[in-house]
Structure 1
Amino acid sequence: MKSSKPDTPAGPSKKPDLRAWAVMAMLLVFMLINYADKAVLGLAANPIMRELGLSHSEYGLLASSFFFLFNISAVAFGFLANRFPAKWLLFGMALVWALTQLPVVAGAGFAALLVSRIVLGAAEGPAQPVAMHAAFKWFPNEKRSIPSSLISGGGGLGGVLAAPLLTLVIINFGWRWAFLSLFVVGVLWCAVWAVVGREGTADRATAATGAEPERAEDFRVPYHRILLSGTWLAGFVGAFGAYWTSALLLAWVPSYLETSLGYSAVAAGAIVTAPWVLKTVATFGQGALTQWLMHRGVSSRVSRGVLGGCAVFLAGAAMLLAPFVTHHGLKIALITVAFSIGAVKFAIGQTINAEITPPAQRGAVLSMTVGLVTLAGLAAPYVTGRIVESAADPATGFAIAFAIPGTLMLIGGLLAFAFVRPERDARRIAAHGRHVDQQAQLSPTATRPGVGAGG
């Protein structure tokens, strides 16, 4: 089964039409909801721990449970995205997100909340790679930086909007009402997406012109050639550290601001918005800057690889410095930088991964990348909870916990400078590819050469 049918005729020289940007707007909101669903638990951390009588490690387990099936689901849906329309995969995910909020609204205790977070994580695991894959169907490689930044920036925008709004709901109505609001928003998105969602045709149009014959729909390469390339491996380390940081921002930073720095819940909710604001600005700005640089003829290595390396390196340095600064204003500034600009790596990294991957395998590669990177999200909340609980005091525990992603991001930045070379690795990977007949590929008895190589 092919993944989509053409909606409109397209060619590589044709600019994406209004339909493409309508789809992009919906994908942006999709990612906004995605991150709001994640953030609500961290924003309600203290009232949840008080009402349910949880220790720091028990809450850390609850936060980590979101990632129990996140990674497996991300990879599985990536292979489905190679064959089925992204529209309905995205619709199904968003509907499950909404439904998982209902047990919490109904007064669920720890066990039901744990299960609901596990199911939510399984449904959210494929969100970013499948959304990226859906967007890239509408845009050729040289025009993908802005769409990818919009999708990645949807998370930051979700934090900007969700943190203060959900905090107000939690304070004025109770933490369970925050989950109810996310149910309503999720259902509304599904209703609109059922009408607006479409599949793009940029890959088909490019292949038809012969402009990039190695990217034709029937062209496949062994997956290990992609995943063992210097470009992919270096990008993975930086993204892993950045995702560890994002998991801490969602699960622990609000509590850190209250317990270690002495801020009120309202002040902590306002302060935690700052990283989301900078994350959004940095991600959107990166997309515009990268696309402008490439339009000016700057290589992808510089406009994507070096730029992404700089972002995670600076975030890592700020993360390591923040616990040791005594001036509260400077500390908040460093925390804002540490928990924000590293996220630039998510948009750049997935755009680079799409650049070195044939379209027929893109959904799987983007999803495998997310599945591996987000293992950081599985470990970070629980490991942090254990460190804080065993430390002499919370401030010391958080300082130790923050050193982990800080070091990872420093190393990831240095590796990006040295090894992220998309143009070179795209050529090397393509040299090991084969054209695979689509009908033979779908047949269970197909034995044509090259099928196994494509994975």
Structure 2
Amino acid sequence: MAVEQQEVSASEPGGTAPGRVAPVRRKAWVVLALLVCLMLVNYADKVVVGLAGVGMKEDLGLDDARFGIIQSSFFWLFAVGSVLGGWLGGRVRARWLLAGIAAVWALSLAPMAAQVGFTTIVACRVLLGLAEGPTTALAMQVAHSWFPAHRRAVPSSIVVAGAGIGPLIAAPVLTWVILAHSWHTAFAVVAVVGAVIAGLWLIGGDSGPEAASAGHGHEVTRGVATPVLPEQVPLRRLFSTGTLIGMALLFFVAYANTSVKVSWLPLYLREGLGYDATTAGNLVALPYLGSAIAVILVGVLSSAMTRRGIGSRVTRGILPGAMVVASGVCTIAFSSLDRGVAQMALLVLGSCLNSAGYGVAFAGLADVVPARQRGTVFGIITGIYSLGGVVAPLVMGKLVDSGESVALGYGDGFMVFGVAMIIGAAAALMLVDPARDAAKLAVKS
């Protein structure tokens, strides 16, 4: 039995027989590319309201507080969707589930192509948030089903990179669409693209051979014995581990910062710093470009550290936690500077550091969670950290409205979130240790 386990862990990916390694490996990368496309559209859907914000506020007569409600409404049922989608992830085939979710995205965006009022916009954003809630968790679950544990850091990071590529492409393209046509047309474009991606996933996407794998005892990977988790662990026990508590906290503060930048950065650049629409659209793309590159580089770095024998506490715990601490410092720094190159450099660097650790952090979660429970647990974690997306846009809207000036209001908001990031990430650094917690779960099972 021990020999069988060594042979299984050596195959690529998972327990695939040697003769089928190459076809399965090719399929894994095809599926990974489709997951990136899903994440691309997922985040383009999020950023479009921020890009269209000035026009929407003018057309509908919205103040910053009411516009903050529109931004926050996206997250009202996000946590419900995350948990529900995670639960369905273990019961509905990934091909049908993700295709259906992407189709709902398109349907929720379609009404925005016509003249709509405040209430309709809020309703559409709530539906979109419900459908998008489980996307990241499900995408990670599917990605991990195609790769063995020691190879998950890079694929996880590539999936997260799709979240940066989406706004990177969407920001300049949709800004041009808005200026050349209208903000309604921008929503129509995103809806059509979402429908196309849903069709492509239906044709080529699905879970991989690792989805049903489970074992007992120890798995041997690169000569190192690592604990193999049981098929199932009570959720209460899982969520009492330092790794899940710390990761939930880390994701919460990081996602609060991400949601503020997705929701408010285009308006901050235009209303707070005075950039014109075209320049703001191009500048918005910079943090996402940097984040897409950084998240992949950090995934490669984490994998290289693992190959050198460095433990998962460092590669999948301390590494992302330290980056969020540094991002908080950058956020505080740029909020206190005037418009200029130095401010934009710190803004971009802070965004890169904030996003770069997402992929390896999810890989750290997978080290602790049995394969068959990943959809549920990832969904719950996503639901927890999405609460940061509910609170953050509202807080920013209130601070902008109450500031002595628009620019000072934005500065106060980013200062608050920078401090929160440092505190939350510092706590996570002390809690996260995937190897320790996996060993405890394996022994008690």
**In structure 1, what is the equivalent of residue 16 of structure 2?**
11
| Structure 1 SS opposite 2:274 | coil
- The structure 2 residue matched to 1:112, chosen from 96, 117, 120, is 120
1:135 partner amino acid: A
2:63 partner amino acid: S
Shift of the alpha carbon at 1:208? 9.4
Between 145-154 and 398-407, the greater mean CA deviation after superposition:
398-407
Shift of the alpha carbon at 1:205? 5.0
1:419 and 2:424 equivalent?
Answer: no
Tell me how far apart the structure 1 counterparts of residues 205 and 34 of structure 2 sit (CA, whole Å). Answer: 8
**In structure 2, what is the equivalent of residue 436 of structure 1?**
none
1:342 and 2:350 equivalent?
Answer: no
| Structure 2 SS opposite 1:371 | helix
Decide whether aligned partners of structure 1 residues 400 and 11 sit closer, same or farther in structure 2, where only a CA change above 3 A counts.
Answer: same
2:281 partner amino acid: G
Residues 277-322 of structure 1 show CA distances to partners (whole Å, capped at 9, x for unaligned) of 1111111111111112212222111112121022101100001111
1:129 and 2:137 equivalent?
Answer: yes
**In structure 2, what is the equivalent of residue 399 of structure 1?**
411
1:11 partner amino acid: T
**In structure 2, what is the equivalent of residue 444 of structure 1?**
none
Tell me how far apart the structure 2 counterparts of residues 62 and 343 of structure 1 sit (CA, whole Å). Answer: 24
**In structure 2, what is the equivalent of residue 145 of structure 1?**
153
**In structure 2, what is the equivalent of residue 439 of structure 1?**
none
1:375 and 2:387 equivalent?
Answer: yes
**In structure 1, what is the equivalent of residue 278 of structure 2?**
266
Shift of the alpha carbon at 1:207? 3.6
**In structure 1, what is the equivalent of residue 372 of structure 2?**
360
Conservation of the 8 A alpha-carbon contact between 1:312 and 1:413: yes
1:215 and 2:229 equivalent?
Answer: yes
Conservation of the 8 A alpha-carbon contact between 2:287 and 2:348: yes
TM-score by length of 1: 0.89
Conservation of the 8 A alpha-carbon contact between 1:257 and 1:263: yes
**In structure 1, what is the equivalent of residue 205 of structure 2?**
197
Tell me how far apart the structure 1 counterparts of residues 217 and 210 of structure 2 sit (CA, whole Å). Answer: 11
Tell me how far apart the structure 2 counterparts of residues 183 and 327 of structure 1 sit (CA, whole Å). Answer: 34
Tell me how far apart the structure 1 counterparts of residues 316 and 349 of structure 2 sit (CA, whole Å). Answer: 20
Tell me how far apart the structure 2 counterparts of residues 61 and 9 of structure 1 sit (CA, whole Å). Answer: 45
Between 179-188 and 31-40, the greater mean CA deviation after superposition:
179-188
Decide whether aligned partners of structure 1 residues 323 and 298 sit closer, same or farther in structure 2, where only a CA change above 3 A counts.
Answer: same
Tell me how far apart the structure 2 counterparts of residues 286 and 12 of structure 1 sit (CA, whole Å). Answer: 31
Shift of the alpha carbon at 1:397? 1.3
2:413 partner amino acid: A
Tell me how far apart the structure 2 counterparts of residues 236 and 270 of structure 1 sit (CA, whole Å). Answer: 32
Residues 92-115 of structure 1 show CA distances to partners (whole Å, capped at 9, x for unaligned) of 110000111111112222211111
Tell me how far apart the structure 2 counterparts of residues 214 and 296 of structure 1 sit (CA, whole Å). Answer: 21
1:292-311 equivalences under 5 Å are 292-311=304-323
Conservation of the 8 A alpha-carbon contact between 1:12 and 1:140: no
**In structure 2, what is the equivalent of residue 97 of structure 1?**
105
Decide whether aligned partners of structure 1 residues 139 and 327 sit closer, same or farther in structure 2, where only a CA change above 3 A counts.
Answer: same
Structure 1 residue runs of 5 or longer lacking an equivalent are: 1-7, 434-455
Identity %: 34
Tell me how far apart the structure 2 counterparts of residues 78 and 327 of structure 1 sit (CA, whole Å). Answer: 42
Shift of the alpha carbon at 1:210? 7.2
**In structure 2, what is the equivalent of residue 55 of structure 1?**
63
Shift of the alpha carbon at 1:345? 3.2
Shift of the alpha carbon at 1:158? 0.7
Between 202-211 and 219-228, the greater mean CA deviation after superposition:
202-211
Tell me how far apart the structure 2 counterparts of residues 304 and 416 of structure 1 sit (CA, whole Å). Answer: 12
1:229 and 2:237 equivalent?
Answer: no
Tell me how far apart the structure 2 counterparts of residues 305 and 159 of structure 1 sit (CA, whole Å). Answer: 27
Conservation of the 8 A alpha-carbon contact between 2:257 and 2:417: yes
1:378 partner amino acid: V
Conservation of the 8 A alpha-carbon contact between 2:295 and 2:359: yes
1:305 partner amino acid: G
**In structure 1, what is the equivalent of residue 165 of structure 2?**
157
2:182 partner amino acid: G
Conservation of the 8 A alpha-carbon contact between 1:316 and 1:407: yes
**In structure 2, what is the equivalent of residue 184 of structure 1?**
192
Residues 171-227 of structure 1 show CA distances to partners (whole Å, capped at 9, x for unaligned) of 1111111111111111111222121112211244564997378435xx211212222
Decide whether aligned partners of structure 1 residues 109 and 83 sit closer, same or farther in structure 2, where only a CA change above 3 A counts.
Answer: same
2:123 partner amino acid: V
1:241-252 equivalences under 5 Å are 241-252=253-264
Conservation of the 8 A alpha-carbon contact between 2:335 and 2:415: no
Shift of the alpha carbon at 1:424? 0.4
| Structure 2 SS opposite 1:313 | helix
Decide whether aligned partners of structure 1 residues 51 and 327 sit closer, same or farther in structure 2, where only a CA change above 3 A counts.
Answer: closer
Residues 430-454 of structure 1 show CA distances to partners (whole Å, capped at 9, x for unaligned) of 3333xxxxxxxxxxxxxxxxxxxxx
Aligned Cα root-mean-square deviation (Å): 2.0
**In structure 2, what is the equivalent of residue 279 of structure 1?**
291
Tell me how far apart the structure 1 counterparts of residues 380 and 443 of structure 2 sit (CA, whole Å). Answer: 22
Tell me how far apart the structure 2 counterparts of residues 231 and 12 of structure 1 sit (CA, whole Å). Answer: 33
Tell me how far apart the structure 1 counterparts of residues 313 and 28 of structure 2 sit (CA, whole Å). Answer: 27
1:109 partner amino acid: G
Conservation of the 8 A alpha-carbon contact between 2:90 and 2:376: yes
Conservation of the 8 A alpha-carbon contact between 2:272 and 2:406: yes
Structure 2 residue runs of 5 or longer lacking an equivalent are: 1-12, 220-225
**In structure 2, what is the equivalent of residue 86 of structure 1?**
94
Conservation of the 8 A alpha-carbon contact between 1:140 and 1:203: no
| Structure 2 SS opposite 1:44 | helix
Tell me how far apart the structure 2 counterparts of residues 91 and 163 of structure 1 sit (CA, whole Å). Answer: 25
Shift of the alpha carbon at 1:246? 0.9
Between 194-203 and 21-30, the greater mean CA deviation after superposition:
194-203
Tell me how far apart the structure 2 counterparts of residues 313 and 410 of structure 1 sit (CA, whole Å). Answer: 5
2:229 partner amino acid: R
